[in-house]
Structure 1
Amino acid sequence: MTTIDPLLTVAGLTVRFRLADAVVHAVTDLHLSIRPGELVAVVGESGCGKSVLAHALLGLLPGNATVTGSALLHIEAGAGTRQSPSLDLLSCSPRQLARQVRGRIVGLVPQSPATSLTPVRTGRALLVETLRAHGHARVDARAAADRLAADVGLDPADLDRYPHELSGGMAQRLATALALAPDPPLLLADEPTTGLDRPLVDHTLDLLRRRCDAGASVLLITHDLTAAQRVADSVAVMYASRIVEHAPTGALFDAPGHPYSAALLDALPQRAFRPVPGHPPMLTDLPVGCAFAARCDHATLACRVQPVFTEARAGRLACHHPLEDAQIRAEVPA
C-alpha cells in the first residue's frame, strides 16, 4: 500500500500571548499532519485554541504573540511558487506569507467574514479581482464568479451587493467563495458554516469534501461534531490549548479513548444529550498536569503530571487513563 507524504506537517506549535499581567497559553506543543486529499477536523469547546492554530499558520497573530515550533508545507515543483519544496510557515517573513502563501497555497475561510470583507466593494468586485489576480482573464472572470457563487450556495445576483447588505450567512458564503477562488492546495476553514441553516451547512461541508476528493487538503476547525462526522477523515480533539486525541473519524465516534472526547460525544442530542460537567480552565492559569482532570471522573494522582501522546487503537491520545471500548461506547436510542 502506497503511503502519501503529508502536505503540511506541524510539529511542536506553541503560541503564547503576553498581556500586561498574564500570559495566555493559546496553543501548546501541537503536532498535526495533513495529506493531499485529506480532510482533518479540529474540534473542541470555544476558547480552546482552534482558531489561533489557523491564524498562526498564516502569520495573522497580533504583535504580542510568541510562536515556536515548525509548520512545514511540502509543495511540489510547478505549484506556482519559487520557494524550496519544504517551506516552514512559522519562519516566513510577512512579505513572503503575503506574496507567496496566503490565498495562493493556503486559503482561509475566516470565522468572522463580515470583518474581513472590504466594505466599499461589492461581492462581485471582490471575487472578480481575486480571480483575475490568480490567472483568470478579464473576459471570463465574471462568469467564473457566478459559478463560484452558485457552488457555495449564493445567488449570483447577490454578488452585486455590498458586504453590509448581506446577511451573516450570505457573507459567510461569499468568504468561502473568495477562499476557493485561487484553488489553493490547502484550505483552512475556520467555522465555515457559521450563520447557515442545516441544508446550507451540509452543502458547504459537501463542497469541502469534494475538494479533498479532487486532491486538495482541508483543515476544518469547528465546534460542530456532526459536521466533523459527516466529512472528516480524522478528528483532532483540542482541550485547553492541547490536542488530547487524534483518530480516524469512525474510530473516534465509535470508541473515543479520551474522557473529554467521550464527554463531547455524550453531549450530542442523538446520544446522551448530557453537557460536559464543569468548565474549562482559564488559558492564563492552566494546571500543571492534565487540564481536564478537574472535570474527569477517571482522574487520579497520576493526572497531576502532564500525559504524553501515545498510540491507542487506531489513533493517538494523551491520557493516563484511556477509556475501554465498553466503557464509552455511546448508547444511541433505538
Structure 2
Amino acid sequence: MTLSLRQVTVRIPLTPGRSVHAVTAADLVVRRGTVHGLIGESGSGKSMLAATVTGLLPKRARMTGEVSLELDDRTLTTQEIWRSRGHTVAWIPPSAATYFTPVRRIGPQLVETIRYLGTAHDPVGLVTRVGLEVTALQQYPHELSGGMAQRAAVAFALAGDPALVIADEPTSALDAERAAAILRLLGDFAADGGSVLLVTHDLTALRASGICTDVSVLHASRIVESGSAETVLGSPGARYTQDLVAALPENGLLPLPFRTPELVNLPADYRYGLP
C-alpha cells in the first residue's frame, strides 16, 4: 500500500482576485508499514494537505494534481479515495472529544460506526486494542480525559479496517506520557502493515517516539524537504528545517528568524527568508 501525491495544489477562493494558497505543488509518498511525519509551523498548510487526502477540504477549494493509493490488487484515484473514507482511509482528528456527539455514550456511537462501515468488529475488542478500559464504552465524551478521547478516536478510526490512517495533530494538548502512548498506537498500526501520515508540530514527542520512518517538512504551503527521519531531523538540508529544529527546547529554543507568511495570494516565487 502506497499513498502518492503528485504536484498537488489547493486554492481556496476568498474574493475576486484573492485566494488562500493552502497547498502548493506537493509531492509526497507514504509507504506501507511506515509512519510518515508531516511537520511545520502552525499555519503552514499541514492540516489542509491532510484534508486533501481525506476529501475533507472546504467546498470552495479547488485541487489540481493527483492523489492515488496503490493497494495490493488495484490503484485508487483521488475520487475513489475520498469515497472510501472510513474504510480504506481513516482520519483521527485533533481534540477528539469535540468530534463525538456530546449527549451520547461512546459505546453506542462506536456500535453505529461499525454498523455503518459494515465490519465485524466488536466495540470491546476495539477499545481494548487501543488500551482503554471496557468501562469507557459507558462514558460520555466529557467524562473522558484528553488521552482517553484520543485513544477512543483511534478505536473509531480502526473500526473500518483502513489501510491508511491520517492522524492530524493527535497529540495536541496532551502531556508527554499520553502523547507517547498515542504515538505508540500509531506505530503499532504501521508495524502490523498499515500506513500512517502523522501531521504534527510536536517535534519533541515525534523525535522521542522514534516511530517515523520518513519526514516531510511543510512551510508556506510547500514541502521544502523530505527524507528519512534520521536525516531530516538530525542533519537537515533546508534552511527552514534547520531553524525549526534549532527552535526545539533541547536545542536552545532559538526563535525562528523569519515570520510565517500569510497564505493569501502568496507570490509564486516565495522562498523562506525572503521579505
Does TM, scored on the shorter chain, surpass 0.5?
yes
* TM-score of the aligned structures, taking structure 1 as reference length: 0.76
User: Could you tell me which of 188, 206, 227 is aligned with 1:210?
Assistant: 188
User: Could you tell me which of 6, 10, 13 is aligned with 2:5?
Assistant: 10
Match of 1:52 in 2: 48
Asked if structure 2 preserves the Cα contact closer than 8 Å seen for 1:13 and 1:29, the reply is yes
Asked if structure 1 preserves the Cα contact closer than 8 Å seen for 2:95 and 2:173, the reply is no
Give 1:176 deviation, angstroms.
Answer: 1.8
Asked if structure 2 preserves the Cα contact closer than 8 Å seen for 1:109 and 1:189, the reply is yes
Closer, same or farther: CA 174–194 of 1 in aligned 2, 3 Å: same
Asked if structure 1 preserves the Cα contact closer than 8 Å seen for 2:213 and 2:229, the reply is yes
Aligned to 1:233, what secondary structure does the other structure show? strand
Tell me the distance in 1 between the aligned counterparts of 2:38 and 2:136.
Answer: 31
Superposition RMSD on alpha carbons, in Å? 2.0
Q: Deviations over 1:117-139 (max 9, x none)?
A: 223321111223333444326xx
How many residue pairs end up in the alignment?
271
Asked if structure 2 preserves the Cα contact closer than 8 Å seen for 1:127 and 1:145, the reply is no
Give 1:248 deviation, angstroms.
Answer: 0.5
Task: Specify the structure having the higher radius of gyration (Cα).
Answer: 1
Match of 1:321 in 2: none
Q: Deviations over 1:22-79 (max 9, x none)?
A: 20000000001111111110000001111111111121112110011111111223xx
* 1:1-334 equivalences in 2 (<5 Å): 7-20=2-15, 22-77=18-73, 85-89=74-78, 91-92=79-80, 97-98=82-83, 101-132=84-115, 133-136=117-120, 141-148=122-129, 151=130, 153-229=131-207, 230-294=210-274
Tell me the distance in 1 between the aligned counterparts of 2:32 and 2:110.
Answer: 26
Asked if structure 2 preserves the Cα contact closer than 8 Å seen for 1:237 and 1:244, the reply is yes
Aligned to 2:251, what secondary structure does the other structure show? coil
Report the identity percentage. Answer: 41
Asked if structure 1 preserves the Cα contact closer than 8 Å seen for 2:147 and 2:178, the reply is no
Aligned to 2:21, what secondary structure does the other structure show? strand
Match of 1:328 in 2: none
Q: Deviations over 1:189-237 (max 9, x none)?
A: 1011123221111111111111111111000000011233221001100
Greater fraction strand: 2
Q: Deviations over 1:233-255 (max 9, x none)?
A: 01100000000000101111221
Higher relative contact order (Cα pairs below 8 Å, separated by 6+ residues): 2
Which stretches in structure 2 are left out of the alignment for 5+ residues?
none
Aligned to 2:107, what secondary structure does the other structure show? helix
* TM-score of the aligned structures, taking structure 2 as reference length: 0.91
